[in-house]
Amino acid sequence: MDASYVTTKGQLVIPVRIRRKLGIKPGTKVCFVERGGEVIFQPVTKEYIRSVCGMLKSPTSVTEELLSDRRKDNEREEAKLEKRGA
C-alpha cells in the first residue's frame, strides 16, 4: 500500500508508481468523488474519456424526450379543459 501526506497547503503527492500506472502527468485533471466516507480520485485521461464515451447515449435525445413529454402534458391539459367546458 502506498501512502502520502497532505501538505499545509492541502496538496497531496501521488506516489510515482500510481502516477505511472494511471498515466498521470503534470497538468492531468483529477476528479475527487466522496462515497460513503471514502474519497476516490479519478484521473481524467484520454483513456478514461474513451472508456466512458457512449455511456450516456440513449436512442432518443434528451431534447426529443422533453418535447414528447411536453406534448403529452399539453394533451392532458386540453382534455381537462374540454371536460370542464362540456
Q: Span 7-11, mean pLDDT? A: 94
Domain shared by 45 and 3, yes or no:
yes
Domain shared by 50 and 60, yes or no:
no
Domain shared by 46 and 60, yes or no:
no
Average pLDDT of the chain? 84
Which pLDDT does position 59 carry in this prediction? 63
Number of domains into which the chain is organized: 2
Greater pLDDT, 13 or 53: 13
Domain shared by 51 and 36, yes or no:
yes
Q: Span 5-21, mean pLDDT? A: 93
The DSSP secondary structure of 9-30, one letter per residue, reads TS-BPPPHHHHHHHT--TT-EE
Domain shared by 51 and 20, yes or no:
yes
Return d(Cα 21, Cα 16) in angstroms, integer: 8
Domain shared by 9 and 23, yes or no:
yes
Q: Residue 39's domain is classified under what CATH number?
A: 2.10.260.10
**Contact present, 45 and 22 (Cβ < 8 Å):** yes
All three cell numbers of 30, joined, read 483529477
| Overall pTM surpassing 0.85 (yes/no) | no
Which pLDDT does position 66 carry in this prediction? 84
